[in-house]
């Protein structure tokens, strides 16, 4: 199996995208090129899952070994990290999905993040391409900041973060 894009599930709702990136970077810095932590804009917390694209399959295997089935390191959460395959695979597919999304009009901290996949800038954040066919992509890396995106058409959600955890029962089967 050569799929590299996954949904990371069961993330504590208090995690920000910056916290999630710090957690992933502890073991997999420079091994992914896309991350998006989905946010509940109304309640200003995440909804419990994120999307990540690993640069190669070996990073996926390592992530499963080091993170899946383990508790998250903050907030004394009992949640266990699980993953499942994402429907959209690959960095380019994810960029196409989100480049015209309404989330790209939100605060930059709520947007998906892309990172250079190779070369001397590998692992550094790269500018997200603009909408449409014509866009200017700078080769200068941008500073690392937290953020998230939305996958739905409406700009708000009615979930309450304190009760959202109880609505999701996620498991991962190998």
The pTM for the full model equals: 0.76
pLDDT tens digits for 7-60? 999 999 999 999 999 999 999 999 999 999 999 988 889 999 999 999 999 999
Query: Residue 58: which residues within 8 A CB-CB, separation 6 or more?
Result: none
Strand arrangement, sheet containing 82-85: 82-85, 5-9, 45-54, 32-40, 113-115, 125-126
Q: Where are the domains of the chain?
A: 5-167
pLDDT tens digits for 135-166? 334 334 444 433 333 333 333 333 344 333 33
pLDDT band at 123 (very low <50, low <70, confident <90, very high): very high
pLDDT mean across residues, the chain: 80
Instruction: Give the domain 5-167 fold.
Output: Alpha-Beta Plaits (3.30.70)
The rounded distance, in Å, linking the Cα atoms of 117 and 95 is 13
């Amino acid at each position: 199996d050569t799929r590299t894009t996954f949904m990371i599930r069961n993330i504590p709702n208090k995690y920000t995208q910056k916290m999630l990136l710090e957690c992933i970077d502890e073991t997999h810095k420079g091994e992914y090129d896309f991350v998006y932590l989905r946010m509940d804009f109304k309640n200003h917390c995440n909804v419990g899952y994120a999307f990540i694209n690993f640069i190669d399959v070996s990073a996926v295997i390592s992530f499963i070994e080091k993170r899946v089935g383990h508790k998250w390191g903050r907030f004394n959460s009992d949640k266990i990290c699980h993953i499942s395959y994402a429907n959209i695979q690959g960095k380019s597919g994810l960029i196409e999905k989100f480049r015209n999304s309404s989330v790209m009009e939100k605060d930059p901290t709520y947007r998906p993040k892309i990172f250079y996949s190779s070369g001397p800038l590998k692992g550094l954040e790269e500018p997200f391409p603009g909408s449409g066919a014509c866009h200017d992509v700078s080769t200068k890396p941008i500073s690392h900041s937290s953020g998230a995106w939305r996958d739905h058409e409406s700009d708000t959600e009615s979930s309450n973060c304190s009760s959202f955890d109880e609505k999701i029962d996620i498991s991962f089967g190998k």
